[in-house]
């Protein structure tokens, strides 16, 4: 434990965390310099300095520009090869198939590429594999189907980097394949015309933080430049307005939980501006279906739009998301948006049942001491499309990496894992594949997928325990909550919230500011929805602040709220602007609490 005094002397909160101040002496000085140089409130300077923004970068940070932050796309290995082949297909009016993944990043990437091809009059088809029957990535049968239907070029997006068998099949049929991916991969490359992936071993671009839609967007920038150089654009055919499609890149960037820094942050800032214009017919319909209130923010992308698009890939038609984002038909868009809304409700109901079973299994594991370093749960009754959500819930509940695995009737399990900061789950899964424990698997540091037979489940548990125990234990010993500053109910105003938004958007790698509210009294607290806790807290001067603690009803934090009414407690959370019955007010999204 650090010798630094805990913030508000909270050494062990209801959430099991030690509260500490985010800024050290150096960053406090940087915060003051940012405030004075840019003439912004000191609080904005503190938030920026607390997220490693240096003084020389501060001005550009507050006004991120795609033009300034995007490098030449050709810095990506194989980009020139990919660009030339796509542009050849455009010039020669060749039929193209776009093969995507079934999550938000895959759907958004597929939609971006399809919109680009359609703009140039190129016949194209999006193919999204069925999660249950086909699994992740290209497979030989699907490749042959696309070729038989006339595809002269296949472009894989958000997949394909490790699809050796499927791409070998395309090569055998003399059909070109371009891979646009971002997942971690080894030294061996599949047979293809070009493989653009900032995470391939020989790529020196430094863009490994991009999601697939970011890679696709850079590819489209390169293609527009090349087609303009070839003289394709004229009075009869304008170049596409790529900036107007940044809503798709922003959606994927937020939902794929990649760091919101540099170019990614610019994608989201500009993408939210594009989304607010509601030019994408499908996203406009989905916003209505999800009852999105106020202007779109990263929260809406990650927790309103994203889950609904993912619902199609999890338990319904995996291609619904890409169809939604490419249609220009209002009626069709409304139909798809309603389907996704209904599927999301079905997903929520199934998830609730599965989560109860997973928690019961995990709790049994925890009875012997502190439990395993990596939580691995499995069932023959679970839906494979929902295991990723289970893993995420288990990770949050038990503060350690977690896997959830759904076994089919043949004993083959499809699993998904979610990690905690500092533990590279993707590397561990790839190592398990190399050891022969898994049939296949991969991913990145914070999330991974795998295929395992029931007979090797014990081996997987043992391997993960041996491989990750020391790292997990180290991270769990240092669980802290970084506090940006202290506020009161009266000082938590809309004006303050709007100032904080200038230093956003917030997300992975650019965390939302967390404020402590010392010694506030809980005026009321009640369970709302399935397991959320709604509450009101007041300061000594009588000012009140409404708050919500998501999925907290059966947690120690929820119990503290529900059982300490009238007593002082320290609260910690993030501020949000809540739109209610036409009015706008500040709300506290509670993260942690401690007895005052």
Q: How do residues 376-419 score in pLDDT, each as one tens digit?
A: 999 999 999 999 999 999 998 888 999 999 999 999 999 999 99
CA-nearest of 246, 296, 283, 241 to 267 is 246
Percent residues over pLDDT 70 in the chain:
98
Calculate mean pLDDT across residues 295-313: 93
How many whole angstroms separate alpha carbon 20 and alpha carbon 446?
Answer: 24
Query: Are 340 and 320 within 8 A, CB to CB?
Result: yes
* 3-state SS, residue 1: coil
Cα–Cα distance measured from residue 57 to residue 75, given in angstroms and rounded to the nearest whole number: 22
Helices vs. strands in the chain: H and E counts, helices first: 21, 18
Q: Which residue has the tokens 């695995």?
A: 405
Domain boundaries, the chain: 7-22+484-595, 69-341, 368-477
Residue 40 neighbours by CB distance under 10 Å: 18
Tell me the two tokens of residue 314. 């999890």
Are 45 and 34 in contact by the 8 Å Cβ rule? The answer is yes
Checking if the pLDDT of 509 tops 90, the result is no
Mapping DSSP onto H, E and C, the string for 336-394 reads HHHHHHHHHHHHHHHHHHHHHHHHHHHHHHHCCCCCCCCEEEEECCCCCCCHHHHHHHH
pLDDT-wise least confident of 51-60, 256-265, 358-367, 552-561: 358-367
pLDDT of residue 191: 97
Q: What is the pTM of this model?
A: 0.88
pLDDT at 566: 79
Q: What confidence score (pLDDT) does residue 474 get?
A: 87
E runs forming strands in 454-497? 480-483, 485-486
Residue 352 CB neighbours (<10 A)? 11
In terms of pLDDT, which residue wins out, 268 or 509?
A: 268
Which of these ranges, 91-95, 200-204, 275-279, 421-425, has the smallest mean pLDDT? 421-425
pLDDT band at 37 (very low <50, low <70, confident <90, very high): very high
Arithmetic mean of pLDDT over the chain: 94
pLDDT-derived band at 293, boundaries 50, 70, 90 = confident
Q: Which residue has the higher pLDDT, 2 or 228?
A: 228
CA 591 to CA 14: how far, in whole Å? 10
Handedness of CA 264, 265, 267, 268 (dihedral sign): positive
Residue 154 burial by CB count (10 A; 0-12/13-18/19+): exposed, middle or buried?
buried
Which letter does DSSP use for residue 286 in this model? H
Contact predicate 258/208, CB 8 Å: no
pLDDT at 368: 62
Give the SS3 label for residue 512.
coil
CA distance 111 to 313: 15
Query: Binning pLDDT at 50, 70 and 90, where does residue 483 land?
Result: very high
Q: Cα angle vertex 377, ends 302, 465, to 5°?
A: 100
Confidence at residue 3, expressed as pLDDT on a 0 to 100 scale = 56
**What does the alpha-carbon distance between residue 479 and residue 369 come to, in Å, rounded to a whole number?**
19
* pLDDT above 90: percentage of residues in the chain: 84
Please, are residues 126 and 100 in contact by the beta-carbon 8 Å criterion?
yes
Can you give the pLDDT at residue 1?
46
Burial class for 357, CB neighbours closer than 10 Å (0-12, 13-18, 19+) = middle
Q: Which fold has domain 69-341?
A: inorganic pyrophosphatase (n-terminal core) (3.90.1640)
- Could you give the strand order of the β-sheet that contains 440-443, starting from the edge strand earlier in sequence? 375-379, 402-407, 412-418, 447-453, 440-443
CB 37 within 8 Å of CB 56: no
Q: Quote the DSSP letter at residue 136.
A: S
Report the pLDDT value the prediction gives residue 369, as an integer from 0 to 100: 65
Residue range 437-460: average pLDDT?
92
| Domain covering 368-477, topology | Diaminopimelate Epimerase; Chain A, domain 1 (3.10.310)
Task: Give the pLDDT mean for 294-323.
Answer: 93
**Tokens 């800024």 label which residue?**
23
State the pLDDT at residue 192. Answer: 98
- State residue 108's pLDDT score: 98
The fold of the 7-22+484-595 domain, in CATH, is OB fold (Dihydrolipoamide Acetyltransferase, E2P) (2.40.50)
Both tokens assigned to 544: 């009140």
Strands 96-100 and 568-580: unpaired
What does the pLDDT read at residue 581? 67
**Residue range 87-101: mean pLDDT, rounded:** 98
Residue 78: CA atoms inside 13 Å, Cβ hemisphere, count? Answer: 23
The 10s digit of each residue's pLDDT in 164-187 is 999 999 999 999 999 999 998 889
Tell me if 13 sits within 8 A of 594, measured CB to CB: yes
Q: How far is CA 270 from the centre of its chain?
A: 17
Quote the tokens at residue 498: 């709007």
8 A C-beta contact, residue 137 and residue 166:
yes
């Amino acid at each position: 434990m650090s010798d630094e005094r805990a913030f508000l002397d909270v050494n062990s909160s209801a959430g099991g965390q030690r509260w500490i101040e985010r800024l050290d002496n150096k960053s406090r000085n940087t915060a003051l310099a940012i405030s004075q140089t840019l003439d912004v409130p000191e609080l904005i300077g503190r938030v920026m300095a607390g997220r490693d923004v240096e003084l020389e970068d501060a001005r550009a940070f507050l006004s991120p520009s795609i033009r300034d932050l995007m490098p030449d796309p050709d810095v990506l290995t194989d980009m020139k090869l990919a660009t030339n082949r796509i542009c050849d297909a455009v010039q020669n009016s060749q039929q193209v198939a776009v093969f995507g993944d079934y999550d938000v990043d895959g759907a958004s990437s597929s939609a971006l590429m399809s919109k680009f091809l359609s703009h140039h009059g190129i016949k194209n088809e999006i193919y999204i594999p069925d999660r249950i029957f086909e699994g992740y990535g290209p497979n030989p049968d699907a490749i042959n189907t696309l070729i038989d239907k006339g595809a002269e070029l296949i472009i894989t997006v958000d997949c394909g980097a490790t699809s050796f068998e499927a791409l070998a099949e395309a090569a055998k049929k003399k059909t070109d394949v371009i891979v646009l991916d971002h997942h971690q991969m080894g030294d061996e490359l599949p047979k293809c015309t070009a493989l653009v992936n900032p995470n391939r071993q020989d790529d020196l671009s430094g863009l490994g933080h991009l999601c697939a839609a970011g890679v696709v967007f850079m590819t489209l920038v390169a293609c527009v430049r090349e087609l303009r150089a070839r003289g394709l654009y004229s009075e009869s055919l304008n170049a596409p307005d790529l900036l107007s499609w940044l809503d798709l890149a922003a959606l994927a960037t937020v939902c794929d939980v990649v760091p919101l820094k540099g170019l990614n942050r610019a994608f989201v800032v500009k993408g939210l501006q594009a989304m607010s214009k509601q030019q994408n017919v499908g996203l406009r319909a989905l916003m209505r279906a999800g009852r999105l209130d106020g202007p779109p923010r990263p929260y809406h992308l990650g927790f309103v739009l994203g889950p609904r698009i993912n619902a199609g890939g999890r338990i319904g038609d995996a291609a619904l998301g890409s169809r939604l984002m490419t249609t220009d038909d209002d009626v069709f868009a409304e139909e798809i948006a309603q389907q996704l809304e209904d599927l999301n409700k079905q997903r929520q109901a199934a998830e609730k049942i599965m989560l109860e079973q997973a928690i019961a299994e995990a709790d049994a594991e925890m009875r012997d001491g502190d439990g395993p370093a990596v939580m691995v749960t499995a069932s023959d009754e679970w839906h494979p499309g929902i295991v990723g959500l289970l893993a995420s819930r288990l990770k949050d509940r038990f503060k350690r990496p977690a896997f959830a695995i759904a076994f089919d009737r043949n004993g083959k399990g499809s699993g998904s894992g979610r990690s905690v900061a500092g533990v590279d789950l993707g590397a561990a899964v790839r190592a398990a594949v190399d050891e022969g424990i898994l049939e296949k698997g991969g991913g990145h540091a914070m999330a991974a997928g795998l295929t395992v037979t029931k007979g090797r489940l014990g081996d997987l548990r043992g391997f993960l325990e041996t491989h990750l125990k020391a790292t997990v234990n180290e991270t769990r010993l240092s669980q802290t909550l970084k506090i940006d500053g202290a506020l009161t109910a009266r000082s938590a105003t809309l004006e303050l919230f709007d100032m904080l938004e200038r230093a956003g958007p917030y997300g992975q790698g650019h965390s939302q500011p967390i404020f402590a509210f010392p010694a506030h009294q809980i005026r009321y607290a009640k369970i709302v929805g399935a397991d959320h806790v709604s509450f009101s807290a007041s300061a000594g001067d009588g000012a009140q602040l409404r708050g919500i603690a998501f999925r907290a009803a059966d947690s120690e934090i929820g119990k503290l709220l529900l059982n300490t009414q009238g007593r002082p407690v320290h609260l910690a959370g993030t501020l949000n602007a809540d739109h209610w019955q036409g009015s706008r007010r500040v709300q506290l999204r509670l993260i942690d609490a401690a007895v005052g």
